Chain A
Amino acid sequence: MNTAQNTGDALLSLKNISLSFGGVKALTDISFDILKGEIRAIIGPNGAGKSSMLNVINGFYHPQQGEVWFNGSLRGPLKPHEIARQGIARTFQNIALFKGMSTLDNLMTGRITKMNTNIFWQAIWKGKAEKEELEHREKVEHIIDFLEIQAIRKTPVGRLPYGLQKRVELGRALAAESKLLLLDEPMAGMNVEEKEDMCRFVLDVHEEFGTTIALIEHDMGVVMDIADRVVVLDYGKKIGDGYPDDVRADQNVIDAYLGVSHD
């Protein structure tokens, strides 16, 4: 399972990232990297700064200090949509779908960075635009099959149950065919069966497309099962980083999870 060992190249490196909101220090001097082709889990208790970390990676937050290296070069202060265009896709802890749009349209919109006919051709819906639309439609149908959501292709996603919304959101992120996929608690709030499905999808995506994945998850069982390496945050600091087994045995990590008081 440890693809980390045979790849070795870092897709993303975070160096000394610090982020604060007014007085609240969400992240303090955090460094770690994500290797090409691995599944990297980010864990930690509530409020540890996990989501903030993803927000830094995809550009919603700009850290006061530190560097983000992506795909071999230092990244400037880009906007989220520019970062998406560089090949980073994500899902959210509280789901951010286009609720009024159908599953199909959500996924098609997820592919927007891959489509490049200009608005003029689209307006007259001829040649290039039509061809492109059909091509991408095919890719999206493939993802729909893959995630087994054919039955809800035309349903406005706002009407779907929570578990399915999570799945559609994963689908939209997959549609971007990104280099790096960020998943913020994709299994939170799911029942056992849904969790198993989601686990399988994440692993299949990883296997079939070789996508590099960063994953936030609270369920330690899941993390131990699917992650290649794990980074542990607590109160905005990194307290552990390594293979799942090592991290699980680490006394600092155990303390953080058992709620040993901080002084």
Chain B
Amino acid sequence: MSPMILNTIEVILNGLMAGVMYALVALGFVLIFKASGIFNYAQGVMALFAALTLVGFQTGQVPFSHLINVVFGTNYHHWSSGINSFLAILLTMLVMVGLAWLVERVVLRHLVNQEQIILFMATIGLAFFMEGLGDLMWGANIKVLDVGLPSGGSFWWEDVTREWASEGSEYYGMYIDVLDVWAAGIAIVLVIALTIFSQYTKTGRALRAVADDHQAALTVGISLRTIWVVVWSIAGFVALVAGIMWGSKSGIQFSLSLIALKALPVLILGGFTSIPGAIIGGLIIGVGEKLFEFGIGPLIGGATENWFAYVLALIFLMFRPQGLFGDKIIERV
């Protein structure tokens, strides 16, 4: 194979890995949107918050230490030198469930039957709140997250692919970050697990029922409030997974909540109500933007990754507004 083809393959693979990340964030959006019709602007901040909390637990930080120290003139920062990653993940998950419960209690419960735009604005408020809460609890400095996932380029893959290059060409092999491969693997397992859960368990069916028809769900005895807590918890879990991946890769910093905005074009492609759509949409955007940057970027000055997804989404909006897999939009008259 010529180095050109090999390079293209590398770009596609890297695009797929980036796409997994987008897909995960989009998945969180879709889950909440389906169950409650809310476009949760805070999904990205949830990932940020989850990752911050995870590092906080891992390194044994005292939550709100800054605040406590200011108010009481103390100097606490750590209550332990750190705890096991697995335990920290479990604790973080508990925090995310608590957060879901709180969101239902404080926000959703009071806004049932409100216009979508009001619910949407409530989630914008929620995003700012969680961002501030994250800062206040764990401090605003950039943090390193390491839960023990292997990372770095794969030499094995480099060697293998070097063999593929045609004789005599100068090709040094493909670069793939092992961390990305792990991330993709974990995401696949997560999606399969969620699918099985929603197909074959009581709560899974209740989730689908609520997503399908609120009135009918109430009639068979499903409590919408309980389901909302469950859905936001699951979205919190998905956010945690996304936060771990992104955090392991680029450190935990505010920009994490910005990549969540990339989920918007993903959703426009995949449809707001389709889980497979979120995944495939994420992959298409991931691959699309990398390929575009690789092929066309140099001709037009680069940095196309910042806007490519949005332009693609715009084009999509013109031709297929319901997305690839979304329910057909039929206006009721």
Contacts and interface: CB of A to CB of B under 8 A. Distances in A.
B209 A98 contact: yes
B205 A112 contact: yes
Interface string A172-196: 1000100000000000000000000
B230 A81 contact: no
A122 interface: yes
B212 A84 contact: no
A158 to B, nearest CB: 9
Contact of B219 (A84, A105, A125): A84
B215 interface: yes
Contacts of B209: 98, 101, 109
A58 B212 CA distance: 20
Contacts of B208: 98, 100-101, 105
B221 A122 contact: no
Contact of B222 (A90, A112, A122): A112
Contacts of B204: 122
A179 B61 CA distance: 55
B110 interface: no
Contacts of B212: 98-101
A97 B200 contact: no
A75 interface: no
B141 interface: no
Contact of A109 (B197, B220, B223, B224): B220
Given A97-B213, A101-B205, A109-B209, A58 B219 contact: yes
A89 interface: yes
Contacts of A100: 208, 211-212
Contacts of A129: 201-202
A172 B212 CA distance: 15
A160 interface: no
A155 interface: no
A112 B202 contact: yes
B201 A109 contact: no
A60 B216 CA distance: 11
Contacts of B224: 81
Interface in A18-32: none
Contacts of B217: 81, 98, 109
Contacts, number: 90
Contacts of A101: 205, 208-209, 212
Given A96-B213, A98-B208, A101-B212, A80 B202 contact: no
Contacts of A113: 220-221
B32 to A, nearest CB: 17
A89 B203 CA distance: 19
A110 B221 CA distance: 8
Contacts of B197: 122-123
B203 A81 contact: no
A131 interface: no
A122 B205 contact: no
B218 A109 contact: no
B269 interface: no
B220 A110 contact: yes
Given A81-B224, A100-B212, A101-B209, A122 B201 contact: yes
Nearest to B202: A115
B205 A79 contact: no
Nearest to B214: A96
Interface in A50-102: 58, 60, 79-82, 84-85, 89-90, 92, 96-101
Nearest to A91: B219
B21 interface: no
Contacts of B201: 122-123, 125, 129, 133
Contacts of A258: none
B206 interface: yes
19 contacts: A79-B218, A81-B221, A81-B222, A84-B218, A89-B219, A92-B219, A100-B212, A101-B205, A105-B208, A108-B205, A109-B222, A112-B222, A117-B202, A122-B197, A122-B201, A125-B196, A125-B201, A129-B202, A133-B202
Interface of A: 58, 60, 79-82, 84-85, 89-90, 92, 96-101, 105, 108-110, 112-113, 115, 117, 119, 122-123, 125, 129, 132-133, 172, 176
Given A60-B218, A90-B219, A105-B208, 11 more contacts: A80-B218, A82-B223, A84-B221, A96-B219, A97-B213, A100-B212, A117-B202, A122-B201, A125-B196, A125-B201, A172-B220
